[in-house]
Each structure stands twice: as structure tokens, then as C-alpha cells.
């Protein structure tokens, strides 16, 4: 099992953080374009899923899957969006993304008065703690494949 990468967006669409662990293929467009594309796509899918839903929604859009990877989505009520691409066998990781939000983002960014919440996170401490956390997840591989 593998974790490929992670995006964190705020409610305005600014990318607060992008981290990459195992990515073999580039998207072929610039980083900025890729971030805009990712955010725009998520916004559209979320809105589409809500509108088309034949029953009452509890959580709405949580993930999509192709034959090679799975894209997981978690949004807080404050509009913060956590997007993680893993490989296909990984199940629902909403709890892990929530944990990432509460014990890393809130602790190291929100509670740091020097961290501007509207821009990409500069804090090295945040980046290190996040990296440590992602590497500790059960579905992060132990050896390079």
C-alpha cells in the first residue's frame, strides 16, 4: 500500500500545503495549474454529488477511485480541504485525515500566531510533524517498491 501525495486547501482555494512521497508520474502542467485544477475539480464533484444525490446526504463526496489510485477527500466545516492520493486497496481514511487536521494542522499552524493562515504554510515544524505522521500511517509502505 502506498501514499502518493497530499494537498491541503483553504476555503478560498489557496493551497496551504502540498507534500509528495511516492509519485511516479507528473501531470504535465505547472504546479499552479495543477493546484487550480485539483481544487476546481473537487469543488465541482462535491457540488455535483450533492445535487444528483437521490437520498439525503450525510457526508457527501469522500473519495474517487481509478484502477491505479484512490483520491480521498475530507472537508472541515470551516472549509479546509484535505486531499490524499493513495493506492487502491486503502479503505476509508477520514479518521486519519481528521487526525492530521486536529493534531498537526491545528496544533502547529492555527495555534502559531506567526503562521499566516491565508498563505502557504512556511513553518518547518509543521512540515516535519506532518511528514512524520504520514510516514507512520499503516498504509505507508515500509520499503520502496
Partner 1 sequence: MSRQTARPTDSRKVSAELFTLTYGALVSQLLKDYENDDDVNKQLEKIGYNIGIRAIEDFLARSNVTRCNDFRETADVISKIAFKMFLGISPAVTNWSPAGDEFSLLIENNPLTDFVELPEGHNKLNYSCVLCGALKGALEMVQLEVDVKIVQDQLKGDNVTELRVKFIKRLEDAIPAGED
Which chain residues interact with partner 1 by CB under 8 A? 11-13, 36, 39-40, 43-44, 76-80, 98, 101-103, 105-106, 110-111, 117
Distance CA 122, CA 127 (A): 8
Distance CA 68, CA 85 (A): 10
17, 31 Cβ separation under 8 angstroms: no
Nearest to partner 1 of 2, 15 (CB atom): 15
Nearest to partner 1 of 102, 128 (CB atom): 102
Tell the smallest beta-carbon distance from residue 78 to partner 1 (Å): 5
Nearest to partner 1 of 68, 92 (CB atom): 92
Tell the smallest beta-carbon distance from residue 140 to partner 1 (Å): 22
Distance CA 22, CA 40 (A): 23
Distance CA 113, CA 91 (A): 36
Amino acid at each position: 500500500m502506498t501514499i502518493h501525495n497530499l494537498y491541503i486547501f483553504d476555503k478560498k482555494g489557496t493551497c496551504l500545503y502540498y507534500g509528495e512521497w511516492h509519485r511516479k508520474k507528473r501531470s504535465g502542467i505547472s504546479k499552479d495549474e495543477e493546484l487550480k485544477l485539483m481544487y476546481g475539480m473537487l469543488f465541482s464533484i462535491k457540488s455535483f454529488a450533492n445535487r444528483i444525490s437521490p437520498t439525503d446526504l450525510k457526508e457527501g463526496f469522500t473519495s474517487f477511485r481509478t484502477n491505479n489510485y484512490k483520491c480521498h477527500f475530507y472537508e472541515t466545516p470551516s472549509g479546509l480541504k484535505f486531499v490524499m492520493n493513495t493506492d487502491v486497496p486503502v479503505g476509508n481514511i477520514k479518521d486519519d485525515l481528521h487526525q492530521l487536521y486536529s493534531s498537526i494542522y491545528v496544533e502547529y499552524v492555527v495555534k502559531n500566531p506567526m503562521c499566516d493562515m491565508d498563505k502557504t504554510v512556511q513553518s518547518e515544524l509543521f512540515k516535519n510533524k506532518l511528514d512524520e505522521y504520514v510516514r507512520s500511517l499503516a498504509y505507508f509502505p515500509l520499503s520502496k517498491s
